[in-house]
Amino acid sequence: MPVSDYELIRAWQQVLTLSKLEAGQSVTVLTSATTHPQTLSTALIAAQSMGAIVNRLDLPPVNADKALSRDSLAYLGTTPLTGNRAAIAALKESDLVLDLMTLLFSPEQHDILSAGTKILLAVEPPEILVRMVPTEADRTRVKKAATLIEAAKEMHVVSAAGTDLRCPLGEFPVVSEYGFVDEPGRWDHWPSGFVLTWANEGGANGTIVIDRGDILLPQKSYATDQIVLTVENGFATRIEGGVDAELLREYMESFKDPEAYAISHIGWGLQPRAHRATLGLYDREATIGMDARAYEGNFLFSLGPNNEVGGSRTTTCHIDIPLRACTVSLDGVPVVERGKVLDGGGN
């Protein structure tokens, strides 16, 4: 169902309050040709209502000649900020950037964050934003899960479908996504609600089985048959199965980059207000699939870059795949059992 401007303004005000926006601070709203007009208009009103000094920076789209999809996460090459010193300077001078464009996996984003600017990404449709307005309870739950990963040396993931993956941990930091930015230099994504890290470089080994009904992103499709990935020394070395596997192979081959096959982030969903089934209710260009990434109890893994956490891999290919009904263990202790998070429940 559509949402009213009133509802979305209230949602923005809650998120901005959680993000510790204060009167007199500078907020820059970053937009592009795909920015949702209601999300933009209500963000401007909400920020102004809280006494912020509000600017809008609109930048033209890029990568149309290279990307195979209109999805903003389907091609992670140059961004509208690449080489744009004036725009970067304006964003670095802001206390808070509301990214309604999508500026992920870019050196420019890291540069802006290093200046102490906070960046909040919000590109899902308004009704998804309102349904998954973040809370302090979300933060508490995600941060608790993060401490478990930080103390662990290995993540082991198994499923009845045949997944059996071992990932040594400790080389890369743990990332907590809970939907608001409450510290200087913090990036987050509204909506979210999950925890993730990266396996030690070259350390992931085993088998990943994408079962029927699991989701592939940015394809935004449910697998219709099993796809079996053989993981050796941190890379998916074989992608086997039927038509779905063939399509995934062809898509990844189009990037002509061996780094695309690297195991990227690994973690699990903690958002009870996110639902696996919602992907089938939207046009593919209407959503980037945050329900799928965040729904409670998934095992979310990805293929592609690691520069988001200081690694050197900057491949333009990035694929997120949330699996259901997995058991995730840290140093032999289950934290998710057959798709159920073992932390006492959500909010």
At the top level of CATH, the class of 5-130 is: alpha beta
Rounded-to-integer distance, Cα 338 and Cα 255, Å: 34
Domain ranges of the chain: 5-130, 133-341
State the DSSP H helix or E strand holding residue 328, giving kind and residue range, or none if neither: strand 326-330
pLDDT at 216: 98
- Tell whether the torsion through CA atoms of 271, 276, 277 and 282 is positive or negative: positive
pLDDT at 308: 80
Q: Do the beta carbons of residue 271 and residue 138 sit within 8 Å?
A: yes
pLDDT at 309: 84
pLDDT at 235: 98
Rounded-to-integer distance, Cα 277 and Cα 142, Å: 22
**Per-residue burial over 229-261, b = 16 or more CB atoms within 10 Å of its CB, e = otherwise:** bebeebbbeebebeebbebbbebbeebebebbb
Does the model's pTM come out above 0.75? yes
DSSP state of 77: S
Which residues, given as ranges, of the chain have pLDDT below 70?
Answer: 346-347
pLDDT tens digits, 239-260: 999 999 999 999 999 999 999 9
Rounded-to-integer distance, Cα 100 and Cα 299, Å: 27
